[in-house]
Amino acid sequence: MILKYIGKRLQMKQKRIRNWLQRQYKKVTFASGKPSILICSLSLFILFTSLFSAILQAEELSGKKPDISLSNFFSEGWKFGQWEEPEQEPDQSPRFRLLKIPATVFEREVRMNYSFTNNGDRGKHDEHEWEFEFEMPISRRLLIEVEPSIVSISPRNGNNHSGLGDTSLVTRVMLFETRNTTLLSLLNVKFPTGNEGLGLGSGMTTISPGIGMWRDLGGHFALHGFLGFDIPSGGKSNDAPDTTVNYGAALTKTVTPKDTPFFGNLSFFVECNGSSYRGNNGDTTVVSILPGARWNLGHEFWLMPGVEFPITGRDEFDNRIWFSVLKDF
């Protein structure tokens, strides 16, 4: 259907150009008594340029990559190296990862996340954490991410401790991706590389399956959503819950085009995140709100600050400052 439509448009364009050439030919003939070589040459150039442009457009449309969905899960999107960032059209919101909600889209980037937790762990300490992420889409369907971290703990009573924190290996599989929607599953395996005795790690391996969604709402608004679980599977800790249910939703609004100097794709967002713990110390639910912003400084360098405040479970922490620097490539 697309090629048939393009063929009709191409015939119409050829007819308009041919009529224009005939009119120009008559004008030149009547004015000088003979056709101008320059006008004829220019007209032929315009004709062939128009035809070539139309052919390229037809090839581009006919070669457009199909949407990926559950119906073509095994047949589409697995080719190695096939991933390309979806093109952002003028009326669309950009696709990007937020600060706390796990990524609901694919990106090829290097990222540094910093967070400072004030009066964390029920007021026992302040905590600084630097998380380094290396995201690499293997194909349109598969992405692998490695997340090492460095943690610094400042207890209310005792000495400060700094060192390697736990390390995560994340696998994401794209289930559904169209112009306005993405739906993916993820599996995060966190390894206990941090020292539990010094408060730098959990002391156990945790498996965290989840599902994430992104939806363009129009008007440069977008919705993010996530649901997942933390399941301890190795090691032991008396304070650790049996299972944690994590959930979140966010609304984003983009107010500038991507090519705006120093503030490209300036976007404001509000995250609402929750975690429900079930364990030895009783059930606990913590819900927080996290407003923030994101923009492109230029050359695909992005900044993203935010501040998180607890709504319920306020004894877990007073507030948390977030700041991310990332480079897309």
Please check whether residues 51 and 138 belong to one and the same domain: no
User: Looking at the domain assignment, is residue 316 inside a domain?
Assistant: yes
| Closest to 291 measured CA to CA, from 322, 318, 258 | 322
Q: What percent of the chain has pLDDT over 90?
A: 56
Please check whether residues 38 and 117 belong to one and the same domain: no
Domain end residue (candidates: 41, 62, 83): 62
User: Looking at the domain assignment, is residue 295 inside a domain?
Assistant: yes
Question: Quick check: 255 and 266 in contact, CB under 8 A?
Answer: yes
Please check whether residues 122 and 218 belong to one and the same domain: yes
Q: Give residues with Cβ within 8 angstroms of 52, minimum separation 6.
A: none
Q: Give pTM, 2 decimals.
A: 0.76
| 76-81 contact pairs (CB < 8 A, 24+) | 76/140, 77/139, 77/140, 77/141, 77/174, 78/139, 78/140, 78/141, 78/142, 79/139, 79/140, 80/138, 80/139, 81/138, 81/139
Instruction: Give buried/exposed letters for 50-65 (b at 16+ CB in 10 A, else e).
Output: eeeebeeebeeeeeee
Please check whether residues 58 and 183 belong to one and the same domain: no
User: Looking at the domain assignment, is residue 215 inside a domain?
Assistant: yes
Question: Quick check: 173 and 138 in contact, CB under 8 A?
Answer: no
Please check whether residues 58 and 119 belong to one and the same domain: no
Residue 11, domain extent: 2-62
What pLDDT, in 10s, does the model give residues 217-229?
A: 999 999 999 999 9
Please check whether residues 318 and 224 belong to one and the same domain: yes
pLDDT above 60 for 182: yes
Please check whether residues 199 and 272 belong to one and the same domain: yes
pLDDT above 70 for 30: no
User: Looking at the domain assignment, is residue 255 inside a domain?
Assistant: yes
Please check whether residues 144 and 226 belong to one and the same domain: yes
User: Looking at the domain assignment, is residue 72 inside a domain?
Assistant: no
Please check whether residues 126 and 26 belong to one and the same domain: no
What pLDDT, in 10s, does the model give residues 125-179?
A: 899 999 999 999 999 999 999 999 999 998 877 789 999 999 999 999 999 999 8
Number of domains in the chain: 2
Question: CA end-to-end span of the chain, whole Å?
Answer: 36
Please check whether residues 251 and 132 belong to one and the same domain: yes
Q: Domain of 300: which CATH number?
A: 2.40.160.40
